[in-house]
Amino acid sequence: MHAMLLARPAMAPTRPLSLESVPDPEPRPDEVIVSVSACGVCRTDLHVVEGELAAVRLPIIPGHQAVGRIVALGSAVTRFRPGDRVGVAWVNRLCGCCDPCIEGRENLCEAPVFTGLHRDGGFAEKVAVPASYAHPIPAEMGDDAQVAPLLCAGIIGYRALKRSGLEPGMRIALYGFGAAAHIAIQIARAWGCEVFVVTRGKEAEERARRMGAAWSGGPGETPPRPVDCAVTFAPAGSVIPGALRSLRRGGRLAIAGIYLDRIPELDYDAHLFQERELVSVTANTRRDARELLDLAARIGIRTDIEVFPLEEANEALIRLKEDRLSAQAAVLRVG
C-alpha cells in the first residue's frame, strides 16, 4: 500500500513526510483492517511531525482521524463485518488493567497506545485498529471526508465541553476558533447556550458570529459578561490568565490540547479565588467518541474542510502551521 511516512521529525516546511510503498498491515486476532478513504490532518499530527511530541518509534505513519470500510477481520472479531464503515481515532488501545482503566477513567490509562504516534496511522491506504476502538459511523452521516474531523477535533471538543461543566442554557467562552471550536460551538448552540469567542483575526471573529456566537473579539479582549465556563483550544499558555478572569465565581476553564506552551504566572486573587477551577483534557474515552458521533448525526454537525490528496500531506501540514487553510480543517482524500 501507499503511505506518507515520517522517517525523522523536522519542521513542516522542510516536507519531512515521504510517499512510500509499505506492506499492508496484518490484523491481530482482536483487530480489523480499515481501507481508508479520508483522514483528517490536525495540530497533533503537526506536533508529531515536528517533534514537539517525542517520537515513540520511527519511521511512523501519522494520522488519527481516519474513515473507511473494514476489509479484513482478526480471528477473534465478531462485532463487525467486511464493508462496515468505521472511524479510527487517536486512542488505539488502552491497557484495561491500570487503576484509571479499572475505575472507568480509561482516558487516563497509564500505558496508552495512540494512532499515528505508537502505531501507524491513517495517512495511508489501510490502517489496523482493535475492533473495540473502531467507531461505527452512523449511516445518516455523509461524505467520509466531512466525517473525518469529528474523530479528533469533534471528540476532543465534546470532551472539553463536558470537562468545562457546560450544561444547556449556560454561557461559555471559547478561546481559539479552529477545527475543534467550530464543532464545539455547534454543540453549545444546539444546547441553547450563549457563546462568546476570543480568536485571532477579523475573519475568524466574523465566522464565529456567523456560526452563532453572541460576541467575538481578538486576543486580549474580555467577553462582555462573565461566563459559567470556558474552553481554550489555543496551544498558547498566554491565553490562560485572561480566560480565567472571564469566569464568574465558581466557573471552570478546561484546556483542550495535548500541547501547551508556558503559562504565565497566575495571581491567586485575580485568577483562581472564588472557587474558579482550571482543568486539563486528556485524550478521550470510547464513550466520548460514540456519544459525539451520535450527537453529530442527531443535530447535523457540519465540518468545514479543505481536501488534499494523500501525497500532498506535507502541504496540508504547512498550511495548517501557517494558518493558511481555506477552511477550518484539512483532510486527506485517500481512497
Q: Where are the domains of the chain?
A: 2-151+304-333, 154-280
Q: By 3-state DSSP, what share of the chain in percent is helix, strand and coil, each rounded to 5? A: 30, 25, 40
Position 235 confidence tier, pLDDT thresholds 50, 70, 90? confident
Whether the pLDDT of residue 113 is over 90: the answer is yes
Whether the pLDDT of residue 254 is over 80: the answer is yes
pLDDT digits (tens, 9 = 90+) for 84-112: 999 999 999 999 999 999 999 999 999 99
Position 71 confidence tier, pLDDT thresholds 50, 70, 90? very high
Whether the pLDDT of residue 249 is over 90: the answer is yes
CATH number for 2-151+304-333 (one of 3.30.70.640, 1.10.8.420, 3.50.50.60, 3.90.180.10): it is 3.90.180.10
Domains 2-151+304-333 and 154-280 share a fold: no
Helix ranges (DSSP H) in 148-285: 153-164, 179-190, 202-210, 240-245
| Dist CA 190 CA 186 (whole Å) | 6
Is this structure's pTM higher than 0.75?
A: yes
With beta carbons less than 8 A apart as the criterion, state whether 187 and 161 touch: yes
Position 234 confidence tier, pLDDT thresholds 50, 70, 90? confident
What's at 108, amino acid-wise? L
How wide is the angle at C-alpha 191 spanned by C-alphas 222 and 218, nearest 5°? Answer: 20
Give the per-residue pLDDT at 162.
97
Position 81 confidence tier, pLDDT thresholds 50, 70, 90? very high
| Dist CA 41 CA 123 (whole Å) | 9
Task: Domain 154-280: give its CATH code.
Answer: 3.40.50.720
Give the per-residue pLDDT at 33.
98
